[in-house]
Each structure stands twice: as structure tokens, then as C-alpha cells.
Amino acid sequence: MADYTKKETICVQSGWKPTNGQPRVLPIIQSTTYKYDSSEQMGRLFDLEENGYFYTRLQNPTNDFVAQKICELEGGVAAMLTSSGQAATYYSIFNICEAGDHVVMSSTVYGGSFNLITCTMKKMGIECTVVDPDWSEEELNKAFCENTKCVFAETIANPALVVLDIEKFARVAHAHQVPLIVDNTFATPINCNPFQFGADIVTHSTTKYMDGHAMAVGGAIVDSGNFDWDAYGEKFAGLTTPDESYHGVTYTKKFGKGAYITKATVQLMRDLGSIQSPQNAFLLNVGLETLPLRMERHCSNAQAVAEFLEAHEKVAWVNYPGLKSNKYYELAQKYMPKGSCGVISFGLKGGRSAAEKMMDKLQLAAIVTHVADARTCVLHPASHTHRQMTDEQLVEAGVAPDLIRFSVGIEHIDDIIADLSQALENV
């Protein structure tokens, strides 16, 4: 049970809670291994009979304190850090899927997730059906097969900024007896808690707003504890029947609501090893302390930039869920009444070449392969993050060839708008 309910307080106070005489700041436990006085106790740790650390590839105390904070922010029961958002996406799915299984995925997910799930996981024998997040429940139902094991989507899609109807996706997933996994990177737990609307697992690229300073690549997975794996025991045999690679442990029997994260830790982390470095977890923790303040500023700045662009004569279109004219305005109000995120996309009347020219003229906003940073940054997804996609896939993913992704930072709004203004004048 968390000590605090207010997210601002959780961000500062949760996770590492020093007792008398301990360091005020979360210590970086820069140790790969841990010492024990008896070999019998070490044996019990290996058997999962006792809680404790034995090797940082599986678990590290610094990481666990930060995971605990993220867990409380999302309202989950268990959480883990991973080395990257990509690792979080992969583990979240692979923890319940194997060769011969099938995933339903929203077409608008981040390009890296799209590639991972439709290409790399396909090579591992996991098939995927791509669905339009705006489809009706009836249309979505048709995507499911006997061997479907989960649904994967993003709260706010990067960079299409499609707002997911989380309740609709949860209903459809649950009707087919599978969990809904939601990548909540862009909204962050400050603006949206997908568990409140029926999502079962949440993932994050902590590299984005959570770190917020472009310092540390990382990821996180949080389990709501709400999905009843045992109710569909045959479907989720990896969780509900003995794991021969782990002394015959049955995760749901032994760990109850902690089953999913325990399996991902002791089996996937053990075998695949995508642990976050304690140093990065420390930096992530520093970022988390100011997340609510930064999200507030990101959102108010982004709203002002979106309104400025919408009124500009050289701008052909603007996509931001905070604009009343936006297709997803109502959904954003429902799921994220405090604000959505600081990312905007737009196109210029001069098309792709004008977009590239304008970006080169920006001075404050830097061209970087990054998003959700304290510093304003800009990217042309068709030439950068999504360049592996065909034109058809780009359209499906909601990425127009002229789309400029503008990640509004926390600088003073006047300076951000002045920079955009001069760049637009020059095209």
C-alpha cells in the first residue's frame, strides 16, 4: 500500500525512504553482486524461497526503488525497470507470448514498436494483426484469433497523436480473454492512468518525459494485477503451469498478483539481460521528482504553440489533441483532463520540402532523434524515425510525408514562438 495518493508527493517522496542516518538521496548501488554468509541462504534466494538480491542482471536495489515509485504513480501492484523502452515493449509481450501465438496491435504505435512486433517478433514465430485504433468494436473483434495473447497500443501515439479509446480497447481485449498492454510514454502517469480505464499492463520509455533531460535511455513495465491469468490458465500456461527453467515454480500460485512481473524478472531478465543500469535509474529518479511540474509546463506551452500554428497562414494543418478542432479532443478530455503531452505535429502549405527548409531555420528548437525533452526539439519522422516504413505503412501509422514532429519544451513560451515565427517567415 502506497503512503501517498497525490502524484506530486509520490514523485518526490516515494521509492527510496531513508531511515535514521541513511543517505537523503537514493544511493546508486553500483555492484553487480551481493554477499551472503551461508551458501544455504544463497540457495534459498535461487529457489525464490526468500527475497533478496544476488545478481544485478536480475535485480538491483536502486532500480527497484525507482520501479516502486513508477508503480505507485501508475496505481499498479508490481513494476520493473528495463534498459530501454524497446526492451519494455518486448518483455511485456514476450512474457505471455511464444512461437505460434498472435498479437493484436494498433497501427499508430511508435515506429520502433511497429518494427519490433511486425518484423523481429514475427521472425520468432509471433504473428501480428495491425488494427486501426478508430475501428468499431465489431471491426476490432475480427482481428482476434484462437491464439491471440494480448492487445498492444499507445495512450497517445507517437507521432500520430491518436488518442486511444482505452475503454473500447479494454472491452475488446477482455471479450477475447486477453490483457490490454498500453504504452503510456507520451501521457505519462501524471496525465493518464490507463489502469483506471481497464488496461492491464502499462509500459514506458522512461527515456522520454520521465527522465525528461535526455540523459538516460530506459524503460519500465507496470502490472495492474487485475488480469486473472488463472481464469484462462491454458492460454497463459507460462504463468499458470510449472516453469521447468525455474525449478518448477508456478508463478501465479507462488506470487499471486506479482506473477507477471516476477516471471519477467526471473525468467526474461535472467535470460535476455536487458537490465537498466543503476546509474541510469538514479538519473531517472531525479527526473521523476519534477515530472508533474514539467508536464504542466509542457502541456501549457504546447497548447499555445498549437494555437499559434493553427492561426498561421503558412501552416496547412496542426494535430494536437488539446485543440478543439482536433478529432481526438473529446477523448483527450475524457482520459487526460489535465492535458495530454507536449508533442505537436503539423504540416506546411509548401509540403515536405518546405518542412525540411523550415526545420533548418529553427535556432532554439534543435533537430534531434528525441522527443519529450525539457528542451524544444523537432524531427521529420518520414526521413528519420519512420524511414524503414513504406508509404502505405506511413499512412496507416498516421505519419504524413510532410509531418513535422515538434516536441515543445519547458522554455519560456515567448522564445519558442519567436523561434517558430522567424523560421516560418524564412520559408
Distance CA 390, CA 145 (A): 26
2 CB-contact burial (10 Å; exposed 0-12 / middle 13-18 / buried 19+)? middle
By CB under 6 A, the count of residues binding ligand PLP is 16
One symbol per residue from 189 to 208: x for binding ligand PLP (CB under 6 A), - otherwise; what is it? ----------------x-x-
Give the one residue of 64, 101, 165, 183 binding ligand PLP; rule: CB under 6 A: 183
Q: Please say which residue, 89 or 345, places its beta carbon nearer to ligand PLP.
A: 89
Distance CA 12, CA 79 (A): 18
107 lines the binding site for ligand PLP (CB under 6 A) = no
**Range 108-127, binding ligand PLP (CB under 6 A):** 110, 112-113
Nearest to ligand PLP by Cβ — which residue? Answer: 85
> What is the enclosing helix (H) or strand (E) of 149?
strand 148-154
Q: Please say which residue, 253 or 384, places its beta carbon nearer to ligand PLP.
A: 384
Of residues 129, 34, 35, 62, the one with CA closest to residue 279 = 62
Residue 41 DSSP SS3 = helix
Question: Residue 245 gets which letter from DSSP?
Answer: G
Distance CA 201, CA 77 (A): 10
191 C-beta neighbours (distance < 10 Å), count: 25
Give the one residue of 59, 68, 185, 376 binding ligand PLP; rule: CB under 6 A: 185
> What is the enclosing helix (H) or strand (E) of 170?
helix 166-175
Q: Quote the cell numbers at residue 46.
A: 535461487
**Range 62-101, binding ligand PLP (CB under 6 A):** 84-86, 89
Number of residues in the chain: 427
Q: Please say which residue, 301 or 407, places its beta carbon nearer to ligand PLP.
A: 407
Q: Please say which residue, 106 or 267, places its beta carbon nearer to ligand PLP.
A: 106
**Minimum CB distance to ligand PLP, residue 349 (Å):** 28
Of residues 187, 131, 201, 202, the one with CA closest to residue 156 = 187
End-to-end, the C-alpha distance of the chain in Å comes to 56
**Range 209-228, binding ligand PLP (CB under 6 A):** 217, 219
14 lines the binding site for ligand PLP (CB under 6 A) = no
258 lines the binding site for ligand PLP (CB under 6 A) = no
419 lines the binding site for ligand PLP (CB under 6 A) = no
Q: Which residues bind ligand PLP (CB under 6 A)?
A: 84-86, 89, 110, 112-113, 154, 158, 183, 185-186, 205, 207, 217, 219
